[in-house]
Amino acid sequence: MEEREREKNTEEKADEKTVESRKKKAGGILHFLIPTFLFISMLVFGGLFLRDFLEYKAADDEYAQLDKHIVVVQETKKETEEKKEESVAESGSAEETEAPEPVDIAHPTFHIDYDALKKINGDFTAVIYVPAIHISYPVVNSKDNDDYLHKTFEGKANFAGSIFLDANAKGSYDHKNTFVFGHNMKNGSMFGKLKNFLRDDSLANTNPYIFLCKSDGIYRYRIFSYYLTDTSSPIYNDFEGDAGYDSYVKLITRMSSYRNYPKDAVNFANRPNLLTLSTCSGPAGGQQRFIVQGALEEVYAS
């Protein structure tokens, strides 16, 4: 009986040693695997970050080069006052100097080489300029909205893509509602700065314009609405006739997050053409969209 008891105890101790040995081996493996996994993860995420950084930089560099074909001359009252102060400081007399008149923000002067931009890309249609958030890009058009999702103005593969006119517009901005699309880039490029309107109403109040610059004239739109929505929203639907237009305007003004919009800033009784800027919002590949809309106020010589 005692013999059996001793054998049983011996077996139990052996089992305990085996279990303990296995635990040590497992612990040793985990001790090796966890740092290895963390190291590999760092390499992967570091590689992805570097890839994105280089891709963003490539797009930024390309569009920076295009800026030489797009020059905007626009002075604010602040800039004019600063020039006056500098002039007074240099001369020592305010009476002897005269500061230049500030340029009307509603009529900036554009120096755009339309021929050069058209030569670079035959799909070029216009230049879009949103002064409040410093957006200035050439706009392209093609038969398929997917064409420029990940292709730059110069035709290079890049996630930033291009700012592009809705394919359904067929190259024309003369529709009652024209859509222009662009990516919401993390670094603020393309339409990445549109969301700044949502964060600060004063931006649209300070400079409420969107300019579409074409060789036949400068089209100025007055911003009156911006909001978050999704791809299934009726704001993407076409409308017909005056009644359809009126219903659409009521819908988008009701949806608007532009709380400080001055009432009657736009005369919708004349049913001016609308320009709708659309960009993605939230996680990549999601359905959320951010919209900025303006109404055509004036067309003046370029």
Query: CA–CA separation, 220 vs 102, rounded Å?
Result: 19
Residues 110-126 have a mean pLDDT of 98
**Mean pLDDT for the chain overall:** 84
Q: Give the burial string for 107-116 (b: 16+ CB within 10 Å, else e).
A: ebebebebee
Contacts of 108 (CB under 8 A, 6+ apart): 72, 73, 74, 129, 131, 211
What's the half-sphere exposure (Cβ side, CA atoms, 13 Å) at 58? 19
**Within a domain: 223:** yes
Q: How confident is the model at residue 284 (pLDDT cuts 50, 70, 90)?
A: confident
- pLDDT tens profile 160-217: 999 999 999 999 999 999 999 999 999 999 999 999 999 998 999 999 999 999 999 9
pLDDT at 289 over 90: yes
CA 263 to chain centroid, in Å, comes to 27
Whole-angstrom CA distances from 89 to 4, 86, 254 are: 108, 5, 51
In the prediction, which pLDDT does 80 show? 42
pLDDT at 6 over 60: no
**Within a domain: 149:** yes
In the DSSP assignment, the letter for residue 184 is: B
Q: How confident is the model at residue 28 (pLDDT cuts 50, 70, 90)?
A: low
In the prediction, which pLDDT does 83 show? 47
Query: CA–CA separation, 37 vs 47, rounded Å?
Result: 15
Strands 177-181 and 217-230: unpaired
Q: How confident is the model at residue 90 (pLDDT cuts 50, 70, 90)?
A: low
**Within a domain: 88:** no
The residue with greater pLDDT, 96 or 221, is: 221
In the prediction, which pLDDT does 112 show? 98
In the DSSP assignment, the letter for residue 18 is: H
pLDDT at 48 over 50: no
Q: How confident is the model at residue 250 (pLDDT cuts 50, 70, 90)?
A: very high
**Within a domain: 41:** no
CB contact at 8 A, 236 and 292: no
**Within a domain: 135:** yes
Question: Which residue range is the domain that position 161 belongs to?
Answer: 114-300
Q: Give the burial string for 208-237 (b: 16+ CB within 10 Å, else e).
A: bbbbbbbeeebbbbbbbbbbebeeebebbe
**Within a domain: 119:** yes
Nearest by Cα to 207 from 101, 81, 99, 102:
102
Task: Indicate the helix (H) or strand (E) that contains 9.
Answer: helix 2-66
In the prediction, which pLDDT does 183 show? 96
**Within a domain: 142:** yes
**Within a domain: 167:** yes
In the prediction, which pLDDT does 263 show? 84
Find tokens 């911006």 and name the residue: 226
Query: CA–CA separation, 140 vs 134, rounded Å?
Result: 19
Q: Into how many domains does the chain fold?
A: 1
CATH code, domain with 239: 2.40.260.10
pTM here? 0.77
